[in-house]
């Protein structure tokens, strides 16, 4: 298993990025300023993660996705652990904003994140169509954070 930083042509992974954020115009808001990593296993890209530096002490996961056939194999968790370790001496907090979904919230909590905030109606106000996950319409953006040091 190998993790590589992607410095150019990040849009070549748009199919993977769209799994986590289904509106390309929203991805465009953070992709170029973000730091992108891909996880390769057995010669194939399995997962990706884009992070941004939000301030002097916080980095944020803006997008993390694994191809459906590769989900449940620990790739996303491996990426999160990699990022936490890589940035633990430079930043104090790793945060993520996600929909209030029964699929994603428990995943992040298992990775050591705790709920830290909410933006009411984020998905209604920022997306041009309703976003559903696990049969549930996403309304609010839920923030979770994890201390890095």
**pLDDT tens, residue by residue, 51-88:** 999 988 999 999 999 999 999 999 999 999 999 999 99
pLDDT of 127 reads: 85
Other Cβ atoms less than 10 A from the Cβ of 107: the count is 18
Confidence at 97, pLDDT banded by 50, 70, 90: very high
Which residue has 């939000």 as its token pair?
Answer: 54
**pLDDT tens, residue by residue, 139-149:** 888 999 999 98
78-101 b/e with 16+ CB inside 10 Å = b?
bbbeebbebbeeebebbbbbbbbb
Reported as type and span, the H/E element at residue 1 is none
Token pair listed for 7? 């410095």
Confidence at 124, pLDDT banded by 50, 70, 90: confident
**pLDDT tens, residue by residue, 102-120:** 888 999 999 999 999 998 9
Q: What is the CATH number of the domain that holds 108?
A: 3.40.630.30
Confidence at 100, pLDDT banded by 50, 70, 90: confident
Q: Which domain holds residue 41?
A: 2-147
Q: Average model confidence (pLDDT) for the chain?
A: 93
Q: Is the pLDDT of residue 122 over 90?
A: no
Q: How far is it, in rounded angstroms, from Cα 18 to Cα 26? A: 10
Report the domain count for the chain. Answer: 1
Identify the bridge partners of residue 106 per DSSP, sorted by sequence position: none
CA distances 123 to 2, 13, 97, 102, 140, Å, are 33, 23, 11, 16, 6
Pairing of strands 93-99, 141-147: antiparallel
pTM of the model: 0.90
Confidence at 138, pLDDT banded by 50, 70, 90: confident
pLDDT of 39 reads: 98
């Amino acid at each position: 298993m190998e993790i590589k930083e992607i410095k150019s042509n990040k849009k070549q992974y748009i199919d993977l990025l769209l799994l986590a954020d289904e509106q390309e115009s929203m991805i465009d808001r953070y992709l170029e300023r973000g730091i992108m990593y891909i996880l390769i296993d057995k010669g194939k890209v399995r997962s990706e993660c884009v992070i941004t530096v939000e301030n002097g002490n916080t980095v944020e996961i803006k997008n993390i996705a694994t191809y459906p056939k590769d989900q449940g194999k620990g790739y996303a968790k491996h990426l999160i652990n990699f990022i936490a370790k890589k940035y633990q001496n430079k930043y104090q907090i790793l945060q993520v904003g996600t929909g209030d979904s029964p699929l994603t919230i428990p995943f992040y909590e298992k990775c050591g994140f705790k709920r830290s905030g909410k933006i009411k109606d984020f998905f209604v106000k920022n997306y041009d169509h309703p976003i559903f996950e696990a049969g549930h319409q996403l309304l609010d953006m839920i923030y979770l954070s994890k201390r890095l040091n």
